[in-house]
């Protein structure tokens, strides 16, 4: 059983990284949200597989939280926000797709190079998981850095958090309480950010954060 | 027992500070606070003296459940602590007594009273602390409360600048000290002094600790080039606080140095003593040269403090050199001399600052060029100030002579040292000491002569009145102590024996049993000094001279016009000035030490404007060391300022890049 367990976990975590790459080049907002839902789904599967392979029933709760909140509630809510803001046609380009993808590959390579040598005696499953999780975190940051639209920055942030959850489940140690509190804090962050989105929109007629900088009267 | 009394005194002082915050504006606050401080210091002084007089005995320890929860606050009273407690509380009691009178002239007592008591408590705590955490905490407490006192008259821009520089240097010093304790604590993280003392320290670590202590304690004591704050901050405070800062707080810094270097760190290496010797010698010479150039009476005294700290550190360096050469008897002599000089300096520097404060209240002036002739209006202050000047100029039979003589006795032991570097350096530093002793005498002739002799240069000086009785009493007590310690030095040396015995393992020969109260540092055949006989001789010969003059010369008192040697203009401005007095010395040393340049502006014939001579002096330490640092910080601050105005995305990018860089470093490094 050992090999197949490892392979499937590997595949799911790798899939998460792959979906992160998809987030990276997707410049339409609806598509971005759909990809994010896929991202959360991959996370759910990955966590559920971990729960099965580690025989840790509380991880099923984590998976359920991921499925309900991250794969359904948040994307749906963001969809409605975009509709109400009327920005679904907006296309944003800050950095070209090519350089971004190259940078993303560099980050994945970096996280593998960093994690694998420093944990030589760790459980191989946990090691791979950790390396993938770090890649997802870095790619999420990259999404946040390369986007100008506040909604897509929120998506980047959420995908970053998915990476953290992946790392936590792989480490076999995170208590349920911590997991639940993290999930709720993400939800609250989401609410706060949503409120802010509307406030920004109300004031500036756009959610392009470049407008904030213009308001502060600075060059970019 | 004694330690419990001392801690209760400290608690009383802190309580006084708290009460003073609440009641500072009430009418009796000033007298009550100073009386309470006087009483607390007096009790603490007696406890410390009692401990010292009982032969130092066993060290007493006490742990209070304060501070870090798993550590507690450790206190320890041993001979060294007791000796410095004597200095602290004697100075504190004298300053409180002086404050009883001086405080009436204070326009903002609510800014002085709470911090005065807190400052006294802080200095006592530093000396008693027995673990690194308590030590650093009390050290910082002492720094901050004295900083608040420097800020008393905060409306004056010069005081603000002084306080700013002071707090920067004090923070820097505490940083250096905490790093030193971090090194001493080692990998086992032992913060109790007992454990640090027992541990073995690597030579390299010990050398680093010495450098850090020189930075930390040295910046508080005023070692060149870390002295820049001292001549600014000490005069800025009210005069009795100046006396405490100059006379006592610098001694607490010396205590910190002695405690770490001689007690906690282990045996010194010979080259380390060369560093201390060089710094001490340079400090002494530069300090007194600056003092000579100074016109401001309180700043002059502050610079002279720097000189005396240099003298003390030279003596401590000698003790280290002798200890490294296993010449314990000579090391005991040098350490005794250093501590004796610390005690003496606390006496006469407090006395002189009290005198300067009396002059300041009487005339409102600190500039000597605007004083003069005060001896007629303030006879008691003048006499006591003169006593302080004589003591600090190391004139026998007063106390300054004894300790400096002992230091020179230690210098004379240098031919027995093994290392050639030290053999050459010690006499050279001895030469520097002799030079600064001579310059100190010149400096205080100037300070006394220009301030108190001659005729008043301004109406303010003309209208001056005598100081109040509390101030006079405080000065008289200190002057009497200067005389006592000078005439009977043997008792002080014997009192210091337990200190050196504990730190070096040897002490100077017992002096009390010698006939005629003579002081013999090493052996009768080599050198001896008898303060009592010198005093009797001076007293008898001076009385005889007075008698002879009054008996055989004309007894009639004649009044004649002053300066009537062809000068019809008898304005007081024709008198010798402080600048004029210092001019020959400035001509000799000025170009080297201050890059002094004289500009003469001579009008052409026919022009009626006056000729002008202006002297330009540079503070080289400030210009070469501090100004570049200041410029670099300013430059970096301006450059980094626009980091405050980035966009959200740029901040995110910064964080991201920092993370990636760290990961890269990890990947490459491992």
B495/B481 same-domain check: yes
Q: Two tokens at B345? A: 């300096």
Who's near B375: CB < 8 A, 6+ residues apart? B382, B452, B453
Q: CB contact, 8 Å: A188 with chain B?
A: no
Task: Please report whether residue B567 resides in a domain.
Answer: no
Q: What is the pLDDT along chain A (220 residues), one digit of tens a residue?
A: 567 888 888 888 899 999 999 988 887 888 888 999 999 999 999 888 888 887 878 788 888 888 888 888 888 988 888 888 777 666 666 677 888 899 999 999 998 888 877 766 667 767 778 888 889 989 988 888 888 777 788 888 888 888 888 887 776 656 666 666 676 677 667 767 776 776 676 666 666 767 766 776 655 4
Among B647, B656, B666, beta carbon nearest to A141: B656
A145, B649: Cβ pair inside 8 Å? yes
Give domain status of residue B341, yes or no.
yes
Task: State the maximum Cα–Cα separation within chain B, in Å, rounded to a whole number.
Answer: 98
Q: Which 628-647 residues of chain B touch chain A by CB within 8 A?
A: 645, 647
Q: What gap in Å lies between CA A186 and CA A165, rounded to an integer?
A: 11
HSE-up of B392 (CA within 13 Å, CB side)? 37
Both B255 and B280 in a single domain?
Answer: no
As a whole number of angstroms, the distance between CA A172 and CA B493 comes to 70
Task: Specify whether B497 is located in the same domain as B469.
Answer: yes
Q: Are residues B113 and B153 in the same domain?
A: yes
Q: Shortest CA distance to B504 belongs to which of B643, B638, B331, B371?
A: B331
Q: What ipTM is given for this predicted complex?
A: 0.82
Q: Is residue B192 part of a domain?
A: no
Residues B136 and B68 in one domain: yes
Cβ(A134)–Cβ(A171) below 8 Å: no
All residues at 6 or more sequence positions from A111 whose CB lies less than 8 Å from its CB, including other chains = A131, A132, A134, A135, A138, B663
Least confident of B29-33, B468-472, B560-564, B649-653: B560-564
Query: In this structure, are B525 and B656 located in the same domain?
Result: no
Chain B residues with CB under 8 Å of A208 CB are: none
Q: Looking at the structure, do residues B231 and B113 belong to the same domain, yes or no?
A: yes
Nearest chain A CA: its distance from B654 CA (Å): 9
Q: What is the DSSP string of B455-487?
A: --SSHHHHT--PPPHHHHHHHHHHHHHHHHHHH
Task: Give the single-character DSSP code of B99.
Answer: H
Does residue B364 belong to any structural domain of this protein? yes
Q: Is the peptide bond before B59 cis (omega within 30 degrees of 0)?
A: no
**How many Cα neighbours within 13 Å face the side chain of B394?**
24
A86: helix, strand or coil: coil
Q: Do B649 and A148 touch (CB under 8 A)?
A: yes
Q: Would residue B207 count as lying in a domain? A: no
DSSP A89: T
Q: Residue B597's beta-bridge partner residues?
A: B616
Q: Is residue B595, in this structure, part of any structural domain at all?
A: no
Cβ-defined contact of B647 to A212 (cutoff 8 Å): yes
**Do B229 and B289 reside in the same domain of the chain?**
no
Query: Is B382 contained in some domain?
Result: yes
Residue A17 has which token pair? 């990284």
Residue of chain B whose alpha carbon sits nearest to that of A137? B656
CB atoms within 10 A of CB B420: 8
What is the least distance, in Å, from the CA of B343 to any CA of chain A? 59
Domains contained in chain B, number: 3
* B499 inside domain: yes
Spatial contact of A161 and A186, defined as CB atoms under 8 Å apart: yes
Residue B562: C-alpha distances to residues B376, B446, B454, B455, B565 (Å): 15, 20, 9, 9, 8
| Contact (Cβ atoms closer than 8 angstroms) between residue B499 and residue B79 | yes
CA pair distance B47, B77, nearest whole angstrom? 11
B658 burial (CB, 10 Å; 0-12 / 13-18 / 19+) is exposed
SS3 B453: coil
Q: Do A117 and B670 touch (CB under 8 A)?
A: yes
The total domain count for chain A is: 1
Q: Which residues in chain A touch residue B660, judged by CB atoms under 8 angstroms apart?
A: 107, 110, 138
Q: Is the pLDDT of residue B289 over 50?
A: yes
Q: What is the pLDDT of residues B490-539, one digit of tens each?
A: 889 988 998 998 888 888 888 877 777 778 777 777 788 888 889 999 99
Same domain, B317 and B247: no
Specify whether B533 is located in the same domain as B652: no
- Domain extent, residue A153, equals 2-216
- Grouping H, G, I as helix, E, B as strand and the rest as coil, residue B70 is coil
Kindly report the three-state secondary structure assignment for every residue of B378-389.
CHHHHHHHHHHH
Specify whether B494 is located in the same domain as B359: yes
Instruction: Note the pLDDT of residue A220.
Output: 44
- Write the Ramachandran bin of B266: left for phi over 0, alpha for psi from -120 to 50, otherwise beta: left
Q: Which of B206, B233, B262 is the endpoint of a domain? A: B262
pLDDT of B57 reads: 67
User: How far apart are the C-alpha atoms of B19 and B15, rounded to whole Å?
Assistant: 6
Residue B637 belongs to domain spanning: 622-669
């Amino acid at each position: 059983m050992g090999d197949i367990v490892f392979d499937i976990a590997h595949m799911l975590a790798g899939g998460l990284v792959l979906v992160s790459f998809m987030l990276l080049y997707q410049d339409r907002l609806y598509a971005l949200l759909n990809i994010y839902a896929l991202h959360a789904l991959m996370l759910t599967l990955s966590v559920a597989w971990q729960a099965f392979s580690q025989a840790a029933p509380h991880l099923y709760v984590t998976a359920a939280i991921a499925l309900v909140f991250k794969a359904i509630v948040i994307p749906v809510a963001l969809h409605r926000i975009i509709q109400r803001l009327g920005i679904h046609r907006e296309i944003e380009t800050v950095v070209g797709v090519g350089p971004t993808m190259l940078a993303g590959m560099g980050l994945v390579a970096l996280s593998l190079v960093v994690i694998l040598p420093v944990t030589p005696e760790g459980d191989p499953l946990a090691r791979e998981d950790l390396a993938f999780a770090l890649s997802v975190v870095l790619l999420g940051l990259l999404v946040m850095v390369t986007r100008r639209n506040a909604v897509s920055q929120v998506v980047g942030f959420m995908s970053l958090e998915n990476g953290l959850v992946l790392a936590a489940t792989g480490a076999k140690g995170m208590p349920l309480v911590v997991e639940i509190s993290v999930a709720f804090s993400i939800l609250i962050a989401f609410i706060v950010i949503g409120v802010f989105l509307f406030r920004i929109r109300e004031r500036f007629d756009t959610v392009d954060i470049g407008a904030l900088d213009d308001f502060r009267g600075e060059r970019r | 027992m004694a330690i419990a009394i001392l801690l209760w005194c400290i608690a009383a002082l802190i309580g006084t500070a708290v009460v003073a915050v609440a009641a500072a504006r009430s009418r009796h606050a000033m007298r009550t606070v100073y009386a309470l401080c006087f009483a607390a210091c007096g009790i603490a002084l007696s406890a410390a003296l009692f401990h010292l007089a009982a032969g130092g005995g066993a060290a007493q320890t006490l742990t209070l459940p304060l501070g870090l929860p798993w550590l507690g606050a450790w206190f320890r009273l041993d001979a060294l602590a007791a000796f410095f407690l004597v200095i602290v509380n004697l100075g504190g009691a004298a300053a409180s007594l002086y404050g009883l009178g001086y405080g009436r002239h204070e326009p903002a007592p609510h800014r002085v009273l709470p911090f005065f008591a807190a400052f006294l408590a802080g200095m006592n705590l530093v000396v008693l602390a027995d673990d690194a955490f308590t030590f650093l905490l009390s050290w910082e407490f002492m720094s901050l409360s004295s900083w608040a006192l420097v800020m008393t008259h905060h409306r004056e821009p010069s005081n603000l600048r002084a306080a700013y520089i002071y707090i920067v240097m004090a923070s820097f010093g505490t940083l250096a000290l905490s790093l030193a304790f971090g090194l001493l604590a080692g990998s086992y993280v032992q913060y109790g002094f007992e454990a640090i003392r027992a541990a073995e320290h690597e030579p390299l670590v010990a050398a680093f600790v010495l450098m850090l202590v020189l930075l930390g304690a040295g910046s508080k004591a005023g070692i060149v080039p870390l002295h820049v704050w001292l001549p600014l901050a000490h005069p800025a405070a009210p005069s009795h606080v100046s006396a405490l800062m100059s006379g006592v707080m610098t001694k607490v810094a010396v205590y910190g140095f002695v405690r770490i270097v001689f007690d906690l760190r282990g045996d010194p290496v010979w080259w380390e003593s060369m560093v201390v010797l060089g710094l001490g010698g340079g400090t002494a010479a530069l300090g007194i040269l600056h003092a000579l150039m100074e016109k401001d009476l309180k700043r002059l005294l502050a610079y002279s403090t720097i000189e005396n700290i240099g003298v003390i550190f030279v003596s401590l360096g000698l003790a280290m050199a002798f200890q490294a050469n296993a010449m314990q008897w000579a090391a005991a002599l040098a350490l005794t001399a250093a501590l004796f000089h610390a005690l003496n300096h606390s006496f006469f520097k407090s006395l002189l600052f009290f005198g300067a404060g009396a002059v300041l209240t009487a005339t409102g002036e600190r500039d000597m060029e605007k004083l003069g002739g005060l001896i007629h209006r303030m006879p008691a202050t003048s006499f006591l100030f003169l006593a302080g000047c004589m003591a600090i100029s190391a004139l026998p039979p007063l106390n300054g002579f004894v300790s400096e003589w002992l230091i020179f006795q230690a210098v004379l032991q240098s031919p027995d040292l093994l290392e050639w570097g030290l053999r050459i350096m010690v006499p050279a530093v001895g030469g520097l000491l002799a030079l600064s002793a001579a310059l100190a005498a010149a400096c205080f002739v100037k300070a006394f002569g220009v301030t108190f002799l001659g005729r008043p240069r301004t109406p303010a000086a003309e209208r001056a009145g005598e100081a109040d009785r509390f101030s006079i009493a405080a000065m008289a007590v200190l002057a009497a102590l200067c005389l006592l310690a000078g005439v009977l030095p043997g008792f002080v040396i014997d009192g210091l024996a337990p200190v050196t015995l504990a730190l070096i393992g040897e002490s100077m020969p017992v002096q009390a049993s010698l006939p005629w109260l003579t002081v013999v540092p090493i052996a009768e055949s080599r050198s001896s000094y008898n303060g009592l006989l010198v005093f009797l001789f001076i007293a008898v010969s001076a009385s005889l001279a007075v008698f002879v003059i009054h008996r055989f010369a004309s007894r009639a008192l004649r009044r004649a016009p002053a300066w009537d040697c062809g000068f019809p203009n008898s304005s007081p401005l024709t008198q010798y000035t402080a600048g004029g007095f210092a001019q020959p010395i400035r001509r000799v040393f000025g170009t080297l030490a201050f890059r002094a340049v004289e500009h003469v502006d001579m009008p052409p014939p026919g022009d009626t404007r006056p000729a002008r001579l202006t002297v330009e002096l540079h503070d080289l330490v400030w210009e070469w060391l501090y100004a570049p640092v200041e410029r670099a910080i300013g430059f970096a601050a301006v450059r980094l300022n626009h980091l405050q105005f980035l966009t959200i995305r740029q901040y995110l990018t910064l964080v991201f890049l920092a993370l990636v860089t760290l990961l890269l470093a990890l990947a490459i490094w491992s």
